[in-house]
Chains A and B, each alone.
Chain A
């Protein structure tokens, strides 16, 4: 079957099966920043934005995204680079496998929460389990990113 999805502001038509999940469809179509982690709705590595909200792409049926907007990290490139710089400055970056999903969740948080406290931030990001440099340096990087008005 065919689905029409707005990926990063471009209308795309993908061929998929009824039981395919979005993670597979995106990766088959070369959106390789979307990564497979646990594949069981737990780790958050496969997170993409569905109409601006973070969702685990490993568990969203591709057909359910038909007619909706999907954002991968390529769609927020400027913000992701800015966040990446703060990660680098705080020594919070390592292999990079989890970064696209974390960048997307932080991006969604920035537009959803107004003046979040450190606890609000921790709770918002709790579903992004895979963060190999440790959470403290990342917290510092995220706080400085949120305060960055450049």
Chain B
């Protein structure tokens, strides 16, 4: 890759100003996609000196610095214990360990990759993103807004609360990108269901969630109905990894399995 300079800003304001100075200036996270996405740059801006590589756990929240590597998130014990380890499980299946030692959670979020295994899991948790200029933005709003102003992601904050979780990556071999990824969670407030790589970016199935969360009794019939509502409200299509029909069918299967698993684990 051709780049004129590599700069190590000492604070966020300096990094921010360098970033907005030119479209040819880039923030550098881990670098897993750098070579594939940027052929030439003027200034590469390091975030290494901004203390973003720590995970802080307090009573109510887990705060993950945006420069924490995927592997560090994956093996963190508090994250392993959160909602049945749903985020650890999702990360565990991403590429090989060498790439997870390089790629950062912040870089994976800001890439907004439609095949991302992280988004379905983060969506069914209580996740907020913290930006240097814009402050807190909930993950759903971030994913729904394609034209966000340039900013620096500093932290990913996940609420620490009891709950159950299910995550499934559907792929042919371990190194493939997902054909589909499905996440289901349940806490005292109810269920959350998210499907990604449809092949569009992950979304919560809000209609199906509101249906199942307003039931007084859940049997096989309601679980089936809920899985059908998920595929009705989310957009599915074909790409080179799978057809629309295949995605719809496996989405229903794994939404059902996910609901059953979180119900069984809770009781």
Interface residues of A (CB under 8 A from B): 1, 17-21, 39-42, 44, 47, 50, 53-56, 58-61, 63-64, 105, 123-129
Could you say which residues of chain A place their CB within 8 Å of the CB of B48?
Answer: 64
Could you say which residues of chain A place their CB within 8 Å of the CB of B175?
Answer: 42, 126-127, 129
Q: Is the CB of B31 within 8 A of A44?
A: no
Q: Considering the complex, give the chain A residue whose CB is closest to the CB of B31.
A: A59
Q: Is the CB of B1 within 8 A of A47?
A: no
- Sampled A-B contacts (24; CB under 8 Å): A1-B6, A18-B5, A18-B6, A19-B41, A21-B1, A40-B36, A41-B32, A41-B33, A41-B35, A47-B98, A54-B97, A54-B101, A56-B102, A59-B99, A61-B28, A61-B31, A61-B34, A61-B44, A64-B28, A64-B46, A123-B97, A124-B97, A126-B95, A127-B175
> How many residues belonging to B are interface residues under a CB distance threshold of 8 Å?
29
Within 8 A of A (CB), among B3-57: 3-6, 28, 31-36, 40-41, 44, 46, 48
The verdict on B92 contacting chain A, using a C-beta distance below 8 Å, is yes
Q: Is the CB of A19 within 8 A of B1?
A: yes
Could you say which residues of chain A place their CB within 8 Å of the CB of B33?
Answer: 41
Q: Is the CB of A55 within 8 A of B1?
A: no
Q: Is the CB of B95 within 8 A of A127?
A: yes
Q: State how many angstroms separate the Cβ of A121 from the closest Cβ of chain B.
A: 11
Could you say which residues of chain B place their CB within 8 Å of the CB of A54?
Answer: 97-98, 101
Q: Is the CB of A44 within 8 A of B101?
A: no
The verdict on B96 contacting chain A, using a C-beta distance below 8 Å, is yes
Q: Whole-angstrom distance between the alpha carbons of A60 and B174 in the complex?
A: 23
Could you say which residues of chain A place their CB within 8 Å of the CB of B98?
Answer: 44, 47, 54-56, 105, 127-128
Q: State how many angstroms separate the Cβ of B55 from the closest Cβ of chain A.
A: 16
Could you say which residues of chain A place their CB within 8 Å of the CB of B149?
Answer: none
The verdict on B2 contacting chain A, using a C-beta distance below 8 Å, is yes
Q: Is the CB of B102 within 8 A of A60?
A: yes
Q: State how many angstroms separate the Cβ of A107 from the closest Cβ of chain B.
A: 13
Could you say which residues of chain A place their CB within 8 Å of the CB of B41?
Answer: 19
Interface residues of B (CB under 8 A from A): 1-6, 28, 31-36, 40-41, 44, 46, 48, 71, 92, 95-99, 101-102, 174-175
Could you say which residues of chain A place their CB within 8 Å of the CB of B32?
Answer: 41, 59
Q: State how many angstroms separate the Cβ of A108 from the closest Cβ of chain B.
A: 8
Could you say which residues of chain B place their CB within 8 Å of the CB of A1?
Answer: 6
Could you say which residues of chain A place their CB within 8 Å of the CB of B92?
Answer: 123
Could you say which residues of chain B place their CB within 8 Å of the CB of A128?
Answer: 96, 98
8 smallest beta-carbon distances between A and B, as pairs: A127-B96, A19-B3, A19-B1, A18-B6, A18-B3, A54-B98, A53-B101, A127-B98
Q: Considering the complex, give the chain A residue whose CB is closest to the CB of B36.
A: A40
Q: Considering the complex, give the chain A residue whose CB is closest to the CB of B92.
A: A123
Q: State how many angstroms separate the Cβ of B4 from the closest Cβ of chain A.
A: 6
Q: Whole-angstrom distance between the alpha carbons of A47 and B6 in the complex?
A: 23
A63 and B6 in contact (CB under 8 A), knowing A18-B44, A126-B174? yes
A59 and B34 in contact (CB under 8 A), knowing A105-B97, A127-B99? yes
Could you say which residues of chain A place their CB within 8 Å of the CB of B5?
Answer: 18
Could you say which residues of chain A place their CB within 8 Å of the CB of B71?
Answer: 53
Q: Is the CB of B4 within 8 A of A55?
A: no
Q: State how many angstroms separate the Cβ of B46 from the closest Cβ of chain A.
A: 8
